[in-house]
Amino acid sequence: MHVLVIGAAGMVGRKLVERIASDPGVLGFEIDRLTLADAVAPEVPEALLETAAAVIVDLADPKEAAKLIDVRPDVIFHLAAVVSGEAETDFEKGYAVNLDGSRALFEAIRHQGMQEPYHPRVVFASSVAVFGEPFPEKIGDTFFNTPLTSYGTQKAITELLLADYSRKGIFDGLGLRLPTICVRPGKPNKAASGFFSNILREPLSGIEAVLPVDESVRHWFASPRSAVGFLVHAARLDTSKVGPRRNLTMPGLSATVGEEIEALRRAGGEKAVKLIRREPDAAIRKIVSGWATDFDAQRAADLGFRAETDFDEIIRIHIEDELGGTLA
Amino acid sequence: MHVLVIGAAGMVGRKLVERIASDPGVLGFEIDRLTLADAVAPEVPEALLETAAAVIVDLADPKEAAKLIDVRPDVIFHLAAVVSGEAETDFEKGYAVNLDGSRALFEAIRHQGMQEPYHPRVVFASSVAVFGEPFPEKIGDTFFNTPLTSYGTQKAITELLLADYSRKGIFDGLGLRLPTICVRPGKPNKAASGFFSNILREPLSGIEAVLPVDESVRHWFASPRSAVGFLVHAARLDTSKVGPRRNLTMPGLSATVGEEIEALRRAGGEKAVKLIRREPDAAIRKIVSGWATDFDAQRAADLGFRAETDFDEIIRIHIEDELGGTLA
């Protein structure tokens, strides 16, 4: 079977590829070919050197999506996107990549299928940015999509296309609305959501981190390991159980910054907590106040998707997967 | 002020133009120019010969949308669409007109605004086809869009684009999800929903009509006069009251076929009811069973949109507007 990962150089893409490298049977079939595509060259892990090839693609160019599909991959992970902030400031680029790029991919599959039967599984990484405030206390599975960013609009539109193309039998698609990934590995970045990870990752490594909001701020989380678990589960899922509603809010953990900090105290002690420097930032507080805080992701849970249930588990996973299993 | 009606040759478009012809101040401002555009030449009413021009456009060609916008109309009614059945059988045409045509229109407005400030009102005719079963007993204003047709998908996507372009200040848009229009004037057509109008219109004119479903079938209706009322109200509405959620389910009447027939009996007597021939049609019954039956259109009601509250009123409007005010 041939697996294509579009967005393989991104954080979730790299984690997915690492998972395939360490557990080649994870998707439930033998992978004899793996194509790793992204706007920058994705890294090919040692263990995959024989089956995997890295490809640089510009999804804004419809011909490039067609080239990826020409070789008829059986399972396609579509994780590529211009991120929220950039899609908001560069209107044209956001639509060109996040909407037109996704549609070109779906159209390339349709054209392949017109030549010879072809019905790949497509797993699309969507986002809770398809929702816009005001929210109910918990956002249920039938709540409407009223995004308040162009990024969220592009994700919501791609979800609709994915459902229609699946309904028409063009491919077998699933859209997964991922929670905010925590603890994000790597360095602190400038994303407004960065502090949720920074205040755990940095102190656990003995480094100071800035907290720009109050401890009462609540948000929706899953670990990188869960994010990969969602993608793998979606690739293996019996979609006859899903029906025509192909886009699912993934399960997650609803927790406050205060709960994050208490879990940090249990894992790293008072010395870790002391590395959090409080620097209230009105701009970040305002952005974060518009984000969803809790979901009732019943359908995904019923279909077997699983996430963490407390921050102790999220921190334990970070220590296992990023810090070699123990704190220094 | 310059008003552009795209889809002016369609049933609702023609009714809107007739309304403007008979009441030139209906939009709350003086209309010094009226452009009537459609895929076939729209008729220009006598009373509008001095201000109105008919234009043939192919919305699937992005250059044609740009031509309509080059002259910077102040209010744009976007009523044009490939209908549901055709969009389902001709996948490419449906997407080319209903999605790409709408987007080309929105992009043309954006490009005009980049040259010189431009911020027209855009009133878009959407559809309850953005919803897909299973439904709650009443579909509320926050129920999600899971269309089960390509037409419904294209309408739902255009709604998302309209909201995003409005949020970005590119234009001032409102999307109106119209109920099934009843009594549709004209001849019986082959639409699966046609019988809802046929069983009133034909008997009221002494002609036999076929009823393919049971009397218990419930559906969601508004008169052509209400449909025009929605469009006019949307053109005049203070959108600061609407906020970023720009797409509204219009009010309507939830009624059964049995209730239709009882209203027909009151208006046209037993001799009219006897002209309904029962010819059960399993295919039509199946299509209709997937349609929404009732809505709680609270937001639209709060914003001043009004529809009929019983079938007696719907029949009275048909007699007034189409039959000269009295039955023969």
State the burial class of residue B159 (Cβ atoms within 10 Å of its Cβ: 0-12, 13-18, 19+): buried
Structure tokens at B314: 């719907």
Amino acid, res. A282: A
The three-class DSSP label of residue A13 is: helix
- A144 part of a folded domain: yes
Structure tokens at B237: 């509405």
Spell out the residues 6+ positions from residue B236 whose beta carbon is closer than 8 angstroms to its own.
Answer: B27, B28
Buried b (16+ CB within 10 A) or exposed e, A42-80: bebeeebeebbebbebebbeeebbbebbeeebbbbbbbb
Amino acid, res. B293: T
Buried b (16+ CB within 10 A) or exposed e, A168-180: eebbbbbbbbbbb
Contact A161 B157 (CB under 8 A): yes
Angle at B72 between CA B66 and CA B76, to 5 degrees: 85
Spell out the residues 6+ positions from residue B232 whose beta carbon is closer than 8 angstroms to its own.
Answer: B16, B19, B26, B27
Instruction: Quote the minimal CA–CA distance from B223 to chain A in Å.
Output: 27
Contact A156 B160 (CB under 8 A): yes
> Which stretches of chain B are assigned E, i.e. beta strand?
2-6, 33-38, 52-56, 75-78, 121-127, 172-178, 180-181, 209-211, 218-222, 247-249, 253-256, 276-278
What phi, psi does B275 have (nearest 5°)?
-80, -5
Contact A146 B91 (CB under 8 A): no
Instruction: Quote the minimal CA–CA distance from A1 to chain B in Å.
Output: 30
State the burial class of residue B289 (Cβ atoms within 10 Å of its Cβ: 0-12, 13-18, 19+): exposed
Amino acid, res. B266: R
Q: Is A95 a catalytic residue?
A: no
Contact A245 B147 (CB under 8 A): no
DSSP 8-state code for residue A145: -
Nearest to A145 among B145, B148, B168 (CB): B145
Residues of A within 8 A of B168 (CB-CB) are 91, 150
Residue B189, pLDDT score? 75
CB of A160 less than 8 A from some CB of B:
yes
CB of B161 less than 8 A from some CB of A:
yes
- B309 part of a folded domain: no
Residues of B within 8 A of A164 (CB-CB) are 147, 150, 153
- B238 part of a folded domain: yes
Successive 10-residue mean pLDDT values, chain B, 328 residues: 97 97 96 97 95 95 94 98 92 97 98 97 97 96 97 98 98 97 89 93 96 96 98 98 97 98 97 97 91 96 98 97 89
Contact B160 A142 (CB under 8 A): no
CB of A157 less than 8 A from some CB of B:
yes
Instruction: Quote the minimal CA–CA distance from A71 to chain B in Å.
Output: 24
Q: Print pLDDT tens along chain A (328 aa).
A: 999 999 999 999 999 999 999 999 999 999 999 999 999 999 999 999 999 999 999 999 989 999 999 999 999 999 999 998 899 999 999 999 999 999 999 999 999 999 999 999 999 999 999 999 999 999 999 999 999 999 999 999 999 999 999 999 999 999 999 999 999 999 887 778 999 999 999 999 999 999 999 999 999 999 999 999 999 999 999 999 999 999 999 999 999 999 999 999 999 999 999 999 999 999 999 889 889 999 999 999 999 999 999 999 999 999 999 999 988 7
Amino acid, res. A12: V
Residues of B within 8 A of A296 (CB-CB) are none
Contact A142 B147 (CB under 8 A): no
- B207 part of a folded domain: no
Amino acid, res. B287: I
Q: Over chain A, what is the mean pLDDT? A: 96
CB of A164 less than 8 A from some CB of B:
yes
Nearest to B157 among A143, A144, A157 (CB): A157
The three-class DSSP label of residue B154 is: helix
- ipTM, 2 dp: 0.96
HEC string for B137-149: CCECCCECCCCCC
CB of B327 less than 8 A from some CB of A:
no
Contact A143 B144 (CB under 8 A): yes
On whether the CB atoms of residues B143 and B119 are closer than 8 A, the answer is: no
Contact B143 A146 (CB under 8 A): no
- B88 part of a folded domain: yes
**Strands, sheet with A2-6, edge to edge from the N-terminal-most edge strand:** A52-56, A33-38, A2-6, A75-78, A121-127, A172-178, A247-249
The C-alpha atoms of residue A138 and residue A310 are separated, in whole angstroms, by 17
Helix (H) or strand (E) holding A178: strand A172-178
Q: Which of A157, A166, A245, A296 to mutate to test the interface with B (most CBs of B within 10 A)?
A: A157
CB of A132 less than 8 A from some CB of B:
yes
Residues of B within 8 A of A143 (CB-CB) are 142, 144
Domain with B96 in it: 2-179+224-249
Number of domains in chain A: 1
Amino acid, res. A272: A
What phi, psi does B195 have (nearest 5°)?
-60, -30
CATH at residue A94:
3.40.50.720
CB of A245 less than 8 A from some CB of B:
yes
